[in-house]
Structure 1
Amino acid sequence: MTLNIASYNNGSSKVSSIRKQEDIDNLIIKKIASLTINDSKIWTSPKYDRSKNVHRFFQYPAMMVPIVQQTLIESITTVDNSVTTILDPFMGSATSIVAGMMNGLSCYGQDINPLSILLSKVKTHYFDIEEVSKRSIELIKSINSDERLCIEKNFRGIDKWFKVSVSLELSKIVRGIRKCEDIEIRRLFWITLAETVRLSSNDRTSTFKLHIRPLEEIQNRNISANELFEKLLNRNIDDIVSHNKMLLSKMLVGKNGYKKKISILFKNSTEYIFIPNGGIDLLVSSPPYGDNSTTVPYGQHAYLPLQWIDLKDIDESITEDLLSTISAIDRKSLGGKLILPSQEIVDNLFEISPSLRNVIEKLTVTHPDKTSKIICFTNDLYIVLQKCCEAVRKNGYLVWTIGNRRVGGIEIPNNRILIELLEHNGIKLLTEIKRDILNKRMAQRNRSTTTMVTEDILIFRKTF
């Protein structure tokens, strides 16, 4: 009998590779467990300061906790040094992307919300502070010397959402920003304007949905948009200085800025996810926990700020139709189009996810009117998850943060549904973390759902 050495060696190498990967998995699991044992509140982060770094440029809804994301990424990259790229298909405020930067990764993020794109581009750009300071001084001078009584923007409801005096001052800021020739600095100015708009409008800031303040409160509320903008701009410059120092201390800055790749795309992840050569090593994200109209209306929250911003400065492909109504962006998000998939697709979802099937069966008895939204949302989510699985390379990692909301008094097990959908695509669950929601600003209650007070952080590996 002749021994096939080549075949034997290949088989031995394969077994060795599997064992090595399992060792890495176990080290990651032990790392997470060790962090949890050493500090039981590490994933809740009760002492988290939102003002650190660049995370207060704009109060984005349901923003993930930066230190938690940074710790998660560091836990994986310190064990597996082959991880060099990160993807977030639901980028939001770029919390995961900035955390990836702090860990020296090439970062790829995308979102359907134009305000997310603007905010993320600003937060990930390495600014020349001297140039920013110079342009800021010029801008403030331009605003203060502008005596024109012309309102630059005209959209439905402008007089409802803004006092005339505020609109006139916001217009001066818009005209001043347009004079700046540097697109990156203009974007910094635009995101500062976005927060100015949020704070100076007649909208209540206590909720993400647009709700007008009481008339008496509006009449008695005196606010200078110009003064607010200048204050926020100075604060943002201070945060950029701090952000730059952190990157410099980690030796992550070269002559052209951040040393690694940064890609921020205005894309609908149900339609397209960018895949670099070799695939993605690590995906870190938090998807919506349900359709935006009944969970967090990200698009509605962005509606007023975006009305005052020149959209072409965010991305050339963004069109005005996204601002045609306060719900236009949310309708393009997961589950936003209430069009039930075919019975064949629904049956396939039920086969893949028994947890989804069980909860739909319960709701069919008690609240049949609420089943369509959950099915449409889950189908859209599954489409994105399939694209994510394709984007991540073999033995790459996925970290998903998700919460279980309640609909019609019944808990929707988003965590189990997500696990089942991913496992069907060769994604193996390594470990789970339960965290209390203390600092992640969520909607507290609405007519359709009672929102969650805990979240699950799920860490996976792609097996093939």
Structure 2
Amino acid sequence: MGTMMETIVNDTMPKTTKSPEEIIYLFNTKEVDEDWSFVEHKPSDTGKWTHDYHRYPAKFIPQLVERLIDEYISHKEAHINDPFMGCGTTIVTAISRGFKASGTDINKIAHLITKVKSTPIDPEYLNRKIKQFLSTLKFLNEPQESLFEERIEPLIPQNHIDRINYWFTEDNKNKLGEILRVIHNEEDKTIRDFFLVAFSHILKNCSVWLQGSTKPTRDLKKNPVKPYDALRKHLTKMQSGNNSFYKVVPAKVRENIDEYLNIEVGDARRQPVPDENVDLVVTSSPYVTSYEYADLHQLSTIWLDLTDDLTEYKKEFIGTSYKKYENKRLRSSIALDIVDKMSKKSKKMAKEIEAFFIDMDEVFDESFRILKHGGRCCYVIGDTKLKGVDVLNAEVFAESLQYSGFKLDRIIKREIPSKILPQKRDEKTGRFANNREANSEAYPIEYIVIGLKE
């Protein structure tokens, strides 16, 4: 590790601080804990309740969150936080237990998905609303000749018309626009948001986006799904999920959801929570070069008109290739060593990695601020390899948590479950690739790095 050990330990470090060498040894000798693989759970288990409302890259399964809550929460009035809430697995789980839930995501579509997935709706009321909605749109399912007098003025965001024309056929573009117009005419915001999530979910199948691809690639031979058919089918699935979720959420939470659900579009480094208010943080942070996440959601971003400028929007994401810092320094010696090795291969990527770990230092500081004494933060993260350099994300997290004041409490090594993102990277570019093209496992296993605020 060279001179890595010369880093001076911060005064806030716990007395039980582990050195970088000890951390590396811990990870190298750690065995996979098969109890945390959850291989016995079928897709119907991991997609229970509202968890299958919307496709989302690299989401972790609710069973993992439930297990962490079972191990670390023993009282009924807990507060669970997720600074990178993504599609809301942690938030939904907390609400299902009757706990307060808070969190952020810089991705506006992620915020919308989480809000809808975490908000149980009275099943009878939702059933009536869905029937009315589909009845208004039923003309979309009739022969073309009968449409002339019944057409609704399509709502198509003109800010992004070029991108919409790029991804959608003229027919599907207009039909989606008509659906969006009817959604926006819905006065009940909870129901409107529910419909928007269904709308967002079907966009990929209704476009010429290459099916199964995580990169924005067109397939001009693709026969896109008809929007009405896709929407009706997915609404049926969402309705079933809501009915199940409604039954498990305690009545006190259903009737006072605003008192229990506190989520915002925002930076993970600034949580909407007072000091020492949270019992448990459970999150899966982005990885280096996570700007792919913004690309993956661009269809939803343009149709829901969530930004004026896609390029500027991407720059806000932690892990983006656009971020570089000249006036901030890394605290982790392991991170410094990784950046040094990468700089010999690619100075640009070295700067990206450095910026990612600097951002994460501030996220760990924020977790420490909001947690009660005796509370824990649980970060789910995997290691990877970029341009032949081992990027030891989990080891860096373990060391960095200590600089934020945490005691390194536990490391769980688990086999990665099936995730939507491919499990392979191209070693030269570091970008995700499909299994046929890739030559390197991206995250063969992952860790849960747990810090304790004593």
Same fold, judged at TM 0.5 (above): yes
Secondary structure at the counterpart of residue 102 of structure 2: strand
Query: What are structure 2's unaligned runs of at least 5 residues?
Result: 1-30, 141-149, 432-439
Contact kept, 8 Å, 1:104 with 1:260, in 2: the verdict is no
- Residue 266 of structure 2 aligns with an amino acid whose one-letter code is K
Query: What are structure 1's unaligned runs of at least 5 residues?
Result: 1-35, 312-319
For residue 303 of structure 2, what is the aligned residue in structure 1? Answer: 308
Task: Measure the CA separation in 1 of the matches of 2:336 and 2:66.
Answer: 35
Question: In the alignment, does 2:355 pair up with 1:376?
Answer: yes
Alignment of 1:90-101 (within 5 A): 90-101=84-95
For residue 433 of structure 1, what is the aligned residue in structure 2? Answer: 412
Question: In the alignment, does 2:138 pair up with 1:129?
Answer: no
Question: In the alignment, does 2:442 pair up with 1:455?
Answer: no
Q: Deviation per CA, 1:13-52: give whole Å up to 9, x if none.
A: xxxxxxxxxxxxxxxxxxxxxxx99x82443435342431
For residue 142 of structure 1, what is the aligned residue in structure 2? Answer: 136
Of 201-210 and 87-96, deviating more is: 201-210
Cα displacement (A) at 1:236 = 0.5
- Residue 111 of structure 2 aligns with an amino acid whose one-letter code is I
- Residue 233 of structure 1 aligns with an amino acid whose one-letter code is L
Alignment CA distance shift 1:369-1:171 (3 Å) = closer
Give the CA RMSD over aligned residues: 2.3
Q: Deviation per CA, 1:115-137: give whole Å up to 9, x if none.
A: 11110110111201111111111
For residue 398 of structure 1, what is the aligned residue in structure 2? Answer: 377
For residue 40 of structure 1, what is the aligned residue in structure 2? Answer: 34
Task: Measure the CA separation in 2 of the matches of 1:177 and 1:299.
Answer: 24
Question: In the alignment, does 2:212 pair up with 1:239?
Answer: no
For residue 7 of structure 2, what is the aligned residue in structure 1? Answer: none
Contact kept, 8 Å, 1:70 with 1:102, in 2: the verdict is no
Task: Measure the CA separation in 1 of the matches of 2:125 and 2:115.
Answer: 17
Question: In the alignment, does 2:294 pair up with 1:299?
Answer: yes
Picking from 55, 61, 64, the partner of 1:59 is: 55
Alignment CA distance shift 1:45-1:328 (3 Å) = farther
TM-score by length of 2: 0.82
Cα displacement (A) at 1:179 = 2.1
Contact kept, 8 Å, 2:282 with 2:378, in 1: the verdict is yes
For residue 437 of structure 2, what is the aligned residue in structure 1? Answer: none
Cα displacement (A) at 1:407 = 1.1
For residue 144 of structure 2, what is the aligned residue in structure 1? Answer: none
For residue 315 of structure 2, what is the aligned residue in structure 1? Answer: 331
Task: Measure the CA separation in 2 of the matches of 1:97 and 1:132.
Answer: 22
Alignment of 1:82-93 (within 5 A): 84-93=78-87
Task: Measure the CA separation in 1 of the matches of 2:35 and 2:400.
Answer: 29
Alignment CA distance shift 1:223-1:82 (3 Å) = closer
Alignment of 1:342-357 (within 5 A): 342=326, 345-346=328-329, 349=330, 352-357=331-336
Alignment of 1:354-373 (within 5 A): 354-373=333-352
For residue 106 of structure 2, what is the aligned residue in structure 1? Answer: 112
Secondary structure at the counterpart of residue 285 of structure 1: strand
Cα displacement (A) at 1:337 = 6.0
For residue 20 of structure 2, what is the aligned residue in structure 1? Answer: none
- Residue 273 of structure 1 aligns with an amino acid whose one-letter code is Q
Aligned positions, number? 398
Task: Measure the CA separation in 2 of the matches of 1:235 and 1:264.
Answer: 25
Cα displacement (A) at 1:99 = 1.6
Secondary structure at the counterpart of residue 398 of structure 1: strand
Secondary structure at the counterpart of residue 439 of structure 1: coil
Task: Measure the CA separation in 2 of the matches of 1:43 and 1:259.
Answer: 34
Task: Measure the CA separation in 2 of the matches of 1:305 and 1:339.
Answer: 24
Alignment CA distance shift 1:98-1:416 (3 Å) = same
Task: Measure the CA separation in 2 of the matches of 1:335 and 1:209.
Answer: 17
Q: Deviation per CA, 1:308-343: give whole Å up to 9, x if none.
A: 2265xxxxxxxx33xx22x44332111426353236
Question: In the alignment, does 2:368 pair up with 1:389?
Answer: yes
Cα displacement (A) at 1:114 = 0.7
For residue 227 of structure 1, what is the aligned residue in structure 2? Answer: 229
Task: Measure the CA separation in 2 of the matches of 1:42 and 1:419.
Answer: 19
Contact kept, 8 Å, 2:281 with 2:377, in 1: the verdict is yes
Task: Measure the CA separation in 2 of the matches of 1:43 and 1:100.
Answer: 21
For residue 173 of structure 2, what is the aligned residue in structure 1? Answer: 167
Alignment CA distance shift 1:255-1:110 (3 Å) = closer
Question: In the alignment, does 2:168 pair up with 1:157?
Answer: no
- Residue 125 of structure 1 aligns with an amino acid whose one-letter code is T
Of 184-193 and 284-293, deviating more is: 284-293
Cα displacement (A) at 1:252 = 5.0
- Residue 228 of structure 1 aligns with an amino acid whose one-letter code is A
Contact kept, 8 Å, 1:400 with 1:458, in 2: the verdict is yes
Task: Measure the CA separation in 1 of the matches of 2:34 and 2:151.
Answer: 57
For residue 75 of structure 1, what is the aligned residue in structure 2? Answer: 71
Picking from 211, 235, 242, the partner of 2:217 is: 211
- Residue 338 of structure 1 aligns with an amino acid whose one-letter code is Y
Alignment CA distance shift 1:255-1:289 (3 Å) = closer
Cα displacement (A) at 1:169 = 1.5
Alignment CA distance shift 1:137-1:393 (3 Å) = same
